Structure 1
Amino acid sequence: MEEFLPKVGEDNHNYEHYRFVAEEGQQPLRVDKFLMNFVMNVTRNKVQKAIKDGSVLINDEVVKANHKVKPSDVVTVQFEFAPRKTETLPEAIPLDIVYEDDEVIVINKPAGLVVHPGHGNYDGTMVNALLYHFKNLPENSEGRPGLVHRIDKDTSGLLVVAKTEHALSHLSKQFHDKTSERLYYALVWGNITEDEGTIEGNIGRNLKNRLQQDVFPEGDQGKPAVTHFKVLERFMYVTLVECRLETGRTHQIRAHFKYIGHTLFNDERYGGNAVLKGTTYTKYKQFVENCFKLIPRQALHAKTLGFEHPTTGEMMRFNSDIPEDLQQTLQKWRGYTLTNK
């Protein structure tokens, strides 16, 4: 599968050009949905505009949105886009700073805030905010100021940021050596019968949907990943779990729990935004839809963060409150469980 990066056209317009070859196992899928699966951060409106403009081709023929992509089809698309900013600029975005000294900053990131600029998110990120609030932050190996680790846009919770080169090096080594502590709260579909357990399996990019990560239990692809979990509360059709990460792969908790049949609640990218467990009663479905409205994101929160201070050597541990949207969702499930026992 090939992908062409953005370039400037002859008419001095900026375009993103992509080319995909559908896998042999590709099930017939509308081309608009196919592109939503394979183009990072693309919006439905952007896909529809490209189709309307005749910029989406299958096997060199212009197609409509309802055309089905089949195995071995060559799909090409050209998106017009605004010129990419080459410089990350400071922005006056407020940050919830829970701790700061001369070496480190601990931030409680809200859901919806992207951590660093990337395709489709060139501004409005936590890095833009960091540049506004702090000067001379050290850059990591990817040129991102202060960042030691990251969490997904729609995941809330704690992050540590380095203020000095020494802190960046020291903290990065802790995350690499798995000596840092990271605990997450996740609401997942289904009743997990075990009180605690461990999920193991290599994690790598899904072969059919590049926006998802997948688990490769045979270890033939991806990178090793280990997630330990403990059940905190059961609500008949969903379970609240505490997850301790031994590794830090992209979408690790989301991919691991989908793999064991317990997709995160309202995780749209992994199919958790449908009623996966429960009854067929209309009243129940409406209850779930109301919960989705309360927490319009995956129900995942980075609650606890621990690390050794890079200068003093002291073990530091921070806890964040469960955000309001998750609290309200848990309360609704508690009420439902009590009423329907």
Structure 2
Amino acid sequence: MALDVLFEDNHVLVVNKPAGLLVHGDETGDITLADLAKEYIKDKYNKPGNVFVGVVHRLDRPVSGVVLLAKTSKALTRLNELFRSKKTRKIYWAVVQNKPVQESGALVHWLVKDASKNVTKAFAKENPAGARSELNYKLLASQQGKFLLEVNPITGRPHQIRVQLASMRCTIAGDLKYGAANPLPDKSIALHARELHFEHPTLKTTITVSAPLPDNPIWKPFV
């Protein structure tokens, strides 16, 4: 599988992850984005031995879009701190089954993850077992009975966008885990990490990277 590189220099590698590919290894043992990135660097720069690739953040397996990787340990440390301190900006696009009652707004929930089932539940009121989670959304377009939302997550929780949108009856197309009526043919869900804005770990300039939409019928009305 060829790596779709969006931006690269000596310190960072930004790629467009296809749906279905793991970012980091799990119990399946399937090939990961990190594996592909290491092979890409080894081949491109003819590097012998082990190659360093640091995973800065993750996308769920059925989600596509921008993923930032670090090529040095110094870059990884600095980028991790940016994410921890919420100094990055992430923009997602989602195709949902229902039109939101309000075309734009903010959602705040306390999310509790059931690790045994890999499912997250959203609570509207403070839950001592949950993590406060916030996102902003707005309706961008509607076509063929589907609705395109732009989502800006303020926090980064497991399945956050998926469960928070589902909580307002805007389940993401194909997301059976959170109430979608039907799967998508390729088993993806219609959630795409569209843009990432971050401070470069050494240059201190703002880098903005955008990922093209997947070549998938669910996205074609919005291209």
Of Structure 1 and Structure 2, the greater strand share is in 2
Runs of 5+ unmatched residues, structure 2? 43-49
Deviation at residue 222 of structure 1 after TM alignment: 2.0
Query: Which residue of structure 2 aligns with residue 129 of structure 1?
Result: 36
1:194 to 95, 102, 114: 102
SS of the equivalent of 1:311 reads coil
**1:318 equivalent in alignment to 2:217:** no
**1:304 equivalent in alignment to 2:195:** yes
Q: How far apart, in 1, do the equivalents of 2:87 and 2:144 lie?
A: 35
**1:114 equivalent in alignment to 2:3:** no
Q: How far apart, in 1, do the equivalents of 2:151 and 2:134 lie?
A: 10
Residues 190 and 236 in structure 1, CA contact (< 8 A), matched pair in contact too: no
Q: Among all aligned residue pairs of Structure 1 and Structure 2, give the percentage whose two residues are the same amino acid.
A: 31
TM-score (norm 1): 0.59
Structure with greater contact order relative to length (CA < 8 Å, sep ≥ 6): 2
How do residues 1-341 of structure 1 correspond to structure 2 at under 5 angstroms? 93-120=1-28, 122-134=29-41, 137-138=51-52, 145-206=53-114, 210-217=117-124, 218-235=126-143, 237-274=145-182, 292-293=184-185, 296-325=187-216, 328-331=217-220
Q: How far apart, in 2, do the equivalents of 1:333 and 1:177 lie?
A: 33
Of Structure 1 and Structure 2, the greater helix share is in 1
> Max radius of gyration: which structure?
1
Runs of 5+ unmatched residues, structure 1? 1-92, 139-144, 275-288, 335-341
Residues 184 and 301 in structure 1, CA contact (< 8 A), matched pair in contact too: yes
- The amino acid of 2:56's aligned partner reads V
How many residue pairs were aligned? 215
Which whole-Å deviations, capped at 9, do the CAs of 1:112-161 have from their partners, x for residues lacking one?
111111112x13111221232236555xxxxxx41000001111101110
- The amino acid of 1:251's aligned partner reads H
Residues 268 and 297 in structure 1, CA contact (< 8 A), matched pair in contact too: no
Q: How far apart, in 2, do the equivalents of 1:321 and 1:236 lie?
A: 21
| CA RMSD after TM alignment | 2.2
- The amino acid of 1:304's aligned partner reads E
- The amino acid of 1:124's aligned partner reads I
Go from structure 1 to structure 2 and tell me whether the alpha carbon gap of 1:333 and 1:307 turns closer, same or farther (over 3 Å shift).
Answer: closer
Deviation at residue 237 of structure 1 after TM alignment: 4.2
Q: Which runs of 4+ in 1 moved over 4 A?
A: 135-138, 330-334
SS of the equivalent of 1:318 reads strand
Deviation at residue 238 of structure 1 after TM alignment: 3.0
SS of the equivalent of 1:201 reads strand
Q: How far apart, in 2, do the equivalents of 1:215 and 1:296 lie?
A: 24
- The amino acid of 1:212's aligned partner reads V
Residues 137 and 146 in structure 1, CA contact (< 8 A), matched pair in contact too: no
Q: How far apart, in 1, do the equivalents of 2:221 and 2:71 lie?
A: 41
